[in-house]
Structures are given as C-alpha cells and as structure tokens.
Structure 1
C-alpha cells in the first residue's frame, strides 16, 4: 500500500483525490494546513507528499523547501492551479519532483505517483530529525540547530538506534545488543547508563530524549 500525505484546503478536491487513490492501493492522509502537514511528517514519513501551493497558513513553496531541507529523497508532487512557466520553474527549484496543474486527470496523477516511486524507491534518506536535533548518517555526525555536537562512537550508535525508531521505546537490552554486541569488549548494564548520561549532557538534556523507567528509552518530537 502506498502511503500519501495530501496538503489541500479545498474539501471537494481533497475528497475526490483521496477516494480515487484509496481505490488504487493507497492510504491517503488529508492535511488542511501547512502546520498539520509538518506535524504529520515529523511523526511519520509517507511514500509521497502531494502539495497545493496556496494554503490558509502560508505557501506550499515554503513547505516544500522545509521538507527538502530535512528529507532529500522524500517524493513531492505539486497539485496546483498555478500553471504559468515561472511558477512551475519555481516549484522545481524549491525541490519538487513533479508538478501537476489543476484541473488534472486522476488516473494520470496516479500514474505519475507510480512513476515517481519507481525512480526513488532505492534512495535512502541520510538525515534523521527530532526537535532541534539532526543526525547525518552520511557524515556520521550529530547537530543541534546546525551546530555539530561531538559524540563518541557508542553515543552515536545509541542516538542512531533511537532516532531510526522515533516514537518507539527501545529496551536497554536492545540498545546493549545493537551498540556493543559486536565490539568485542566486555560491557554490562552500567555501561549503557554511563553512556546515556554523557550523551544527555552533550545534547543539553533535550526534552525529546525520554527515559522509560526500568525499561528503556524513546525519542519523540515535543515541538
């Protein structure tokens, strides 16, 4: 099933697109504002984002740029009445992968979604976000509001495991296995406690890093 987020404030168009796509193996979440879309994306990434340009709380171009700063490979398709060449060029410059002008044929839209997903299915995002924290897997680096935070390898692996499973609780035993199991060094439960304490201090004790008492840890957005 293809998961779709559709940012659209026109109830009739939104309902029409949602009904058609859900008849064709899609799960569609309608977002009536840019704020709703941002909140949804920070909680969970879909397969593709459909984006109107004119929204009640801003322009789709702003949202497109915001998405592209965080997820290089997340597919984005504009669905908008703005069809002159200047707007189309701007849409692609903002980071869109495709641009569809209203009115459009629903069958053609679905075909465009499938074509786009075929081109991007093997591309993996290299950046993970939680509140102001960003982990760059390509650079093996951690940032807080673009300022790099120097962490040890175990601390990085702890944060990677938690951010890759954002919203889920990871047990202490799971972290011990994922972070140290193949290191060849003797570790015990206290090793994780010390590493987590140091990591929290380096990150400034962020609210998004939760301790689940006597069980494990969880990363979740708080902003």
Structure 2
C-alpha cells in the first residue's frame, strides 16, 4: 500500500505566485489547496487537515503572524512563512510564535521544495515517536508513557517491544521478528520464554484486564498484534 500524499495549504494572495507553488508542489506528488486571504484560510482549515502550511505574512485582510498563533492553539502542523526582504522583525516574531521556517521573496522554488520536504520528514518522525491511542500517550523521544494522567514505567525492552507493535498496529508481528528486532544479536542467548514474559509485563501495565487484553492480542501460532488502530 502506498503512503497517502502529504496535504499542503498555500496561503498567498498573489494569485500568480500561489498557482506557481501549486504546480511546483504537484510535481512532487503533494496534494495542495489554495487560500488567498485569512478568511479563506480559516475556511480551509475548518474543513481539512493539513500536513504543512505555506503562509504569507502580509495578506489583504490581516496578518499571517496572527493566523499562525490561531493555528498553534489547536495544531502543531509545520508552518513556513513567506516574507518580504524588509520584514526581519516579523520573521523573528513569527518564529517565536510557532512558525517553523521562513523564506524571503523572491525565492527559488527548488529551495522552498527542499525546505518543505525537510519539514515533512521531521514532522513525520515526530508523529511516529509520539503516539496517542485512546487514553494512552506514548512519547518515545522523551520516554514518557501515560495512561490517562498516570505515568507508566517501562523497561528498555518493554519500550522496544511496544514501539514495534505500535509501528505495525492492526497487523500480526511474528514471534521471530519480535525476537530479532527487540533482542537483536543476543537473541540466541535469550530464554525462549523472554518474549512471553515481556508481553505479560506490558499487558499488566497497559491493559485494564490483562487476562482479556484489548490492545496486545495473541495471534496463536504466529505472534502478537496491537489490535486497536
């Protein structure tokens, strides 16, 4: 199955530039939507979820910096500002208020495309390492694991096993693959029950009833799956 293309909102009132950005980004297989004012951008943001926003600072009905602040109150979507040469202070304010990058007009489309690709890669990695499912929050970068408001203490081995199951949620991960990825080169020296013991410990920490697991389920004869997607 192919990955869904990233969806980008372009907020720029110069119609020629906006259309040029749309055509350029479509060549990179992104899905794009255009807005030419803050009002249109708000409408698009209400009806859609975006992976990245290209945001002009000067718009006919307001300031892109203020729109950035609005967005940040509800979303961590990456934002790249488009600015004029004489707007250095606005750039500083924008970055301090939640912008991720900026590019000064006139600019190279190749450079903008490269910056967009870099931000999307970083954002995707952050999403993979911070996962929210039901009452759980799993932050593998900060090593913070929550069930509701309660912090869970997980061993390094439990973290590795959990991360692998979550990365493949909804599908079965075989016992052999779990042993290989979690224990690596030392798997030949690991007790054959180590995987079952680690699964049991994870269930005791995550499940409301570990004898009737909802999240980590056994696929008999094959392995395990994180069943809730």
Q: Which residue of 2 aligns with 1:18?
A: 22
Q: Distance in 2 between matches of 1:140 and 1:62?
A: 29
- Judging changes above 3 Å, is the alpha-carbon distance between structure 1 residues 157 and 88 closer, same or farther for their aligned structure 2 residues? same
Deviation at 1:116, TM superposition (A): 6.8
CA-based RMSD of the aligned residues comes to 4.8
Q: Which protein is bigger by CA-based radius of gyration? A: 2
1:136 aligns with 2:145: no
For CA contacts below 8 A with separation 6 or more, give which structure has more relative contact order.
1
Name structure 1 gaps, 5 residues minimum.
Answer: 42-48, 69-74
1:1-59 Cα offsets, whole Å, 9 max, x none, are xx64313589x887653322233xx1213364267436xx6xxxxxxx234489xxx95
TM-score under structure 1 length normalisation = 0.57
Question: TM-score when scaled to structure 2?
Answer: 0.56
Distance 1:114 1:90, change over 3 A: same
Question: Partners of 2:110 and 2:122 in 1: how far apart?
Answer: 20
Contact 1:6 1:28 in 2 (8 A): yes
Q: 1:7 corresponds to which residue? A: 9
Residue 4 of structure 1 contacts residue 29 of structure 1 at CA under 8 Å; is this kept in 2? yes
Q: 1:27 maps to what in 2?
A: 29
CA distance in 1, matches of 2:168, 2:70: 27
Q: Indicate conservation of the 8 Å contact 2:203/2:216, yes or no.
A: no
Post-superposition Cα deviations, 1:190-220, rounded to whole Å, max 9, x if no partner, equal x434433432331245999463733431476
Does residue 1:50 correspond to 2:58, yes or no?
A: no
- In the superposition, relative to structure 1, how do residues 115 and 6 fare at CA in structure 2: closer, same or farther (>3 Å)? closer
Unaligned regions of 5+ residues in structure 2, if any? 34-43, 57-61
